[in-house]
Structure formats: structure tokens, C-alpha cells
Copies of this chain bind each other. A is one copy, B any other.
Amino acid sequence: MLKYLSIKRYTNASDKKLAQSIKNLFGFVPGNIDLFKQALRHSSASRNKTSNERLEFLGDSVLNALIAEYLFKLMPNAEEGELTQSRSRIVSRQNLNKLALKLGLNNLLVTDIKGHLPSSVFGNALEAVVGAVFLDQGYKKTQKIILEKIIKQHLHVKELIQEDTDYKSRLINLYQKKKIPLRFVLLSEKHDGHKKIFHVGVEAEGKIRAEANHPNKRAAEQLAALTVLEKLGEV
């Protein structure tokens, strides 16, 4: 549960407006509104005040950590490489820029640039806002807020983490559409020194459609699935 602060604590009109925007976006009234003002202050408009760049540094790290934790728990069988790749997709520059616009940070950001702003300005502001949420609410609440209010609402996480790599799911879906039963079978386990090698096959309509070997069983299945997809002209 987030500690409930009333919006009434803000008497200054522009502070109150910003506090209301933060509440609408994330579901809490800021304890320290200055953090959010700073997060939404582009360096072009910083003059004597601190711009959002320090908070961007902090927010970037916090975002990386909480997405790492989220994926670690979401994908209990994924290897380090898959986790790293999935996170890169989620926190890609492009994704953060898009997310910032979806959240309407472009309407909150204070800049002193005339004309068109590069969209990275908004992605950076989103990172800075994450930094502000973190300092205002702590890690655990930030984790909850970012996942509930940003990631799950605005991103197709399943697509991002499976995109390109989960050939097994793609193959299963394909066969389900065709209503042909398909299964992955373990053909053998060999020992190569201290490592096991899994030899797996993809079976459909009584035939092994493809085989693959790998020390990691899941990877062997992915490789076998990929081979079938290639034969079918699906990749």
C-alpha cells in the first residue's frame, strides 16, 4: 500500500497541478514535488537549477534493476542471455521514447528548445521520472508502480520477450492452428565429459520432423523447432 498523501498539501497552483498529474499517472501524491519538477526539467531550461540529467542516471539504473527482477521471476527457465536480450528490448531507447509519449510526459516536460524536440528527450525524461519515483517512494513501491502503471499497461511484454527467439511456441501455435498434434521428445541424453548433451526431436504425424543436440534441453528444443520452421518457410 502506498502512503496516502492528500493533494491539498500543495498550495502553489503549479505544484498542485503537477502533483495531480503524477497522481493520475502513477496513483500516488508525491511526498517531494521538487524531485518531479527536476525530473521534468530539460537541461535547456535548467539555468541555475539542476536539470533532469542526474535523475536520469539514477532512474536508468533503477529501471534496469527492476526489469531484471521482473524478468528473472517471469522467466524461471530462461538463461542469462535470454534475460539480457529481453530486457534490452523492453528498455530500448525506442520503447522508452514511445512510452514517455503514451504517458504524456511531453506535456509535462519543461524545455527551452524552440521547434521540434528529438524523441530521446522524452525517453530520458521517463528515466528521470523513474529516478524521482524511486527517491520519493523507495524501491519496492517503485517496482510495483512501474510494472502496474507502465510496463503491463503499455507494453506487450510477452511479445517483446518471445519475439524472434521462442521458436518452440511459434511452432506449437502453428500446428495448433492446423489442428495437427505436435510434441517435443527427448531422444537421448549423452555425456560429453562433465556436460550432458540433450538430443531432442520434434514429432508430428508419427514422424520426427527435426532433431537437435544441445547441453541445455530448452535450447535443443528451440533449435529443433527452428529447423522445422525453416523447412516450412516460416522464418
Contact = CB atoms under 8 A, between A and B. Distances in A.
A62 B57 CA distance: 14
A151 to B, nearest CB: 15
A72 B57 contact: yes
Q: Is the interface of A mostly helix, strand, loop or mixed?
A: helix
A68 interface: yes
Interface stretch (A11-19, A76-84, A179-187, A202-210): A76-84
Contact of A72 (B54, B69, B194): B54
Contacts of A139: 138-140
B65 A79 contact: no
Interface in A34-81: 44-45, 47-48, 53-54, 56-58, 60-62, 64-65, 67-69, 72, 78-80
Interface of A: 44-45, 47-48, 53-54, 56-58, 60-62, 64-65, 67-69, 72, 78-80, 83-84, 112, 134, 138-140, 194-196
